[in-house]
Amino acid sequence: MLRRRTFLGSSLAAPALAACATAPAPAVHQPLPHDPHSHARPGEARVTHVSLDLAADFDRKALSGTATLSIEARAGAREIVLDSDGLIVKSARTNLGDTTFEFGSRDEQLGQALTIAIGPGVTALTIAYETRPGAGALQWLEPAQTASGQRFLFSQGQAILTRTWIPTQDSPGIRQTYDARIVVPEGLKAVMSAEMLTPDGEAAEGGRAFRFRMDNPIPPYLIAIAIGDLVYRGVGPRTGVYAEPSVIERAAYECADMERMLRAAEAMYGRYRWGRYDVLVLPPSFPYGGMENPRLTFLTPTFLAGDRSLVSLIAHELAHSWSGNLVTNALWADSWLNEGFTSYIEGRIVEALYGGENAAMQFALAWADIQKAIAAGPPDDTRLHLTGERSADDGVSAIVYDKGALFLRTMERELGRTRLDAYLRSYFDRHAFQPMTTQWFLEDVRARVVRGGPALEASLQLDTWAYEPGLPSNAVEPRAEAFERVAAHAAGFNAGGPASAIPWASWGTFERQRFLQTLPRELQAARLAELESALGLNGTGNAEVLFDWLSLAIANRAEASMPAVTDFLTWQGRGKFVRPLYRALMEQGEWGQAHARRIYAMARQGYHPIVQTAVDGIVTAA
Ligand code: BES
Ligand code: ZN
């Protein structure tokens, strides 16, 4: 299908190669803002499609092969600039023949510009390359690190790591379709954030080949791959789970509500545009809770609580199918547009499936986190739109997630739910497959909702929310009745009441977290021990509750919990749990520091490079 496109307002120098025109490029209405986290200059030449042909070599810890990029260039463009970090490039040629390439100087954060010469008539570029063993996006696991005892590879692209395994323009505003052919060792299966064209693979030299296709233009941080001993189990007409064989049963149990979540989200925000929604439960070193790779959310196994009590994580990643994957922050400084919207929608899905009280409790926990962040942070760090010198990963905070969600909750109260829902639905439709900035969002709200009304303009406080530190005066305060009962029990225990009086068994995850989070940080050793034995805290299978408990135990130098701390820090490597626990240990003088060093010596090699770097800074800095 050949389709005439406009490129930043000017017409193309040459028609796109028919073979590469697998999907229409997104209509970019405004020129993209400059992305400080990318070397690309999309105004001159931009990538529209990535075609990968790669083989996975587990012995050498390398992906090697070719990436063929479809490009659109302004008339007269002499070069295209890609992002790369650590890639070993062997050759580059265009659809017209051989060409030259050049690496720029290496920036610690951004990697290197890879500049390739082009000229009139160039519509495709083929780069032969391979990745290095230390590629930041890739974790190559040894058999001992997986449930199946087989080797495993997974990628994590967000925020700016895709450039460590694919030479492309790695900026969230530069959307690309992709296809891939991946050759893996016999016995393993490849999955990607794309339509799976070969569920059983095909015979190929050196193993089996799996082919994939993603026809929706996506930001490059959403291109994702995993390879391992994987099996699949459907849980609904459009939903299912991939996991290693010994994990699949528990994983499928935990994911039983996915189809209902999908329908609830569609009812509010419009059609799900990605076909299937599957999840992949990864080995325990996966550094995040979840990653919203399109069609295939990647999940930590720490969400497998055995009782579906942590499934709001799935609601969150599913919500990104609208906020983030459909409408995407153009710059990482605006990641609240991805994560804040998504946390708001997560709450709405939780409410639709599990009731208003559950949503209210989650909201109240988030409120406490916002208050903590505001109390701790320099004011500049409490703005939604991040300013100044920032790393691309600074968008992981209670501000981006929870203050962002609170902005939408406040809009909901001011406008009424019906009106906000109608607006959000049209926002996703009108900006589908396009980048978004804070400024464009506010302009859109003013054009569609405020429409010059002075009362609404004043009551929404849009600019204060988006650009000022702290919380605006109109912020909605949560009220969760269940938490008033939790507070009464915490007060009873603090006043010397018995731990056996706490109705732990009748509480869900949120009440348990609230209880542990609101206890005073310092408790008498006997009281702590009583709590542990009455509630069985060291042995809880709920990772969020365990994390809150172990944080409290460490603050009290509770030796009796150190086996549980050791176990938790060695079996899983989720950054959100691992980083704060090491930090807490390091704050406890020689006692805690000795534990931190002992545990890290055992655990480090199992952690993802992202987490290793972070914990190196915590444990070895002191
Ligand atoms: N997209 C994020 C994960 C992420 C953020 C990766 C920033 C790299 C940089 C994902 O959707 C997410 O938010 N995960 C959370 C879970 C959620 C329930 C708050 C996590 O990993 O804990
Ligand atoms: Zn998220």
**339 annotated active-site:** no
Q: How far is CA 482 from CA 479, 508, 546, in A?
A: 9, 10, 21
Per-residue pLDDT of 222-269, as tens digits, reads 999 999 999 999 999 999 999 999 999 999 999 999 999 999 999 999
pLDDT in tens, 541-598: 999 999 999 999 999 999 999 999 999 999 999 999 999 999 999 999 999 999 999 9
Which tens digits make up the pLDDT trace of 159-205? 999 999 999 999 999 999 999 999 999 999 999 999 999 999 999 99
Residue 620: the pLDDT is 87
The two structure tokens encoding residue 436: 């978004």
Residue 402 Cα to ligand 1 midpoint, Å, equals: 12
Q: Whose CA is nearest to atom 15 of ligand 1?
A: 289
3-state secondary structure of 424: helix
Q: Which of the residues 72, 130, 292, 317 is marked catalytic?
A: 317
What's the whole-model pTM score? Answer: 0.95
Kind and range of the H or E run holding 367: helix 356-376
**Token pair in block for residue 219:** 């930001």
- Residue 49 in contact with ligand 1 by CB distance below 6 A: no
Whether residue 157 contacts residue 137, with contact meaning beta carbons closer than 8 Å, is answered with yes
End-to-end CA distance of the chain: give it in Å, rounded: 60
Residue 141 CA, chain-centre distance (Å), reads 20
Taking the C-alpha atoms of residue 420 and residue 406, their distance in angstroms, rounded to an integer, is 13
Across the strands, what pairs with 102?
Answer: 115
Which amino acid, residue 339? E
| Tokens 């507070």, located at residue | 487
Q: In terms of DSSP bridges, do strands 88-94 and 112-117 run parallel, antiparallel, or are they unpaired?
A: unpaired
- Nearest Cα to Cα of residue 251 among 299, 287, 291: 299
- State whether the Cα torsion 275-276-277-282 is positive or negative: negative
Hey, what CATH topology would domain 327-467 get?
A: Neutral Protease; domain 2 (1.10.390)
Ligand 1: residue whose CA is nearest its atom 10: 291
Report the DSSP pairing between strands 176-184 and 45-57.
Answer: parallel
- Give the closest residue (by CA) to ligand 1 atom 2: 291
Please give the structure tokens belonging to residue 492.
């009873």
The domains of the chain are located at: 327-467, 502-619
Residue 12: pLDDT above 90?
no
Q: pLDDT digit string (tens) for 305-318?
A: 999 999 999 999 99
Single out the residue of 295, 306, 302 nearest to residue 256, CA to CA: 306
Ligand 1 atom, smallest distance to 316 CA: 18
Q: Which of 129, 277, 344, 401 is catalytic?
A: 401
Q: What is the DSSP letter of 111?
A: B
| Alpha-carbon 466 to chain mean position | 22
**E strands, 124-196, in order:** 124-130, 138-141, 152-155, 176-184, 189-192, 195-196
In angstroms, rounded to a whole number, what is the distance separating the alpha carbons of residues 363 and 371? 12
| Rounded CA separation 292/276 (Å) | 13
Q: At the top level of CATH, which class does the domain 502-619 belong to?
A: mainly alpha
Ligand 1 atom closest to the CA of 339, numbered from 1: 13
Rounded to an integer, what distance in angstroms lies between the CA atom of residue 582 and that of residue 599? 9
What element of type H or E holds 373?
A: helix 356-376
Beta strands in 185-258 (DSSP E): 189-192, 195-196, 202-204, 207-218, 225-228, 231-234, 239-243
Query: Mutate which of 156, 223, 291, 401 to test ligand 1's pocket (most atoms within 8 Å of Cβ)?
Result: 291
Q: In this predicted model, what pLDDT tens digit does every residue of 391-445 receive, in sequence order?
A: 676 655 899 999 999 999 999 999 999 999 999 999 999 999 999 999 999 999 9
C-alpha gyration radius of the chain: 25
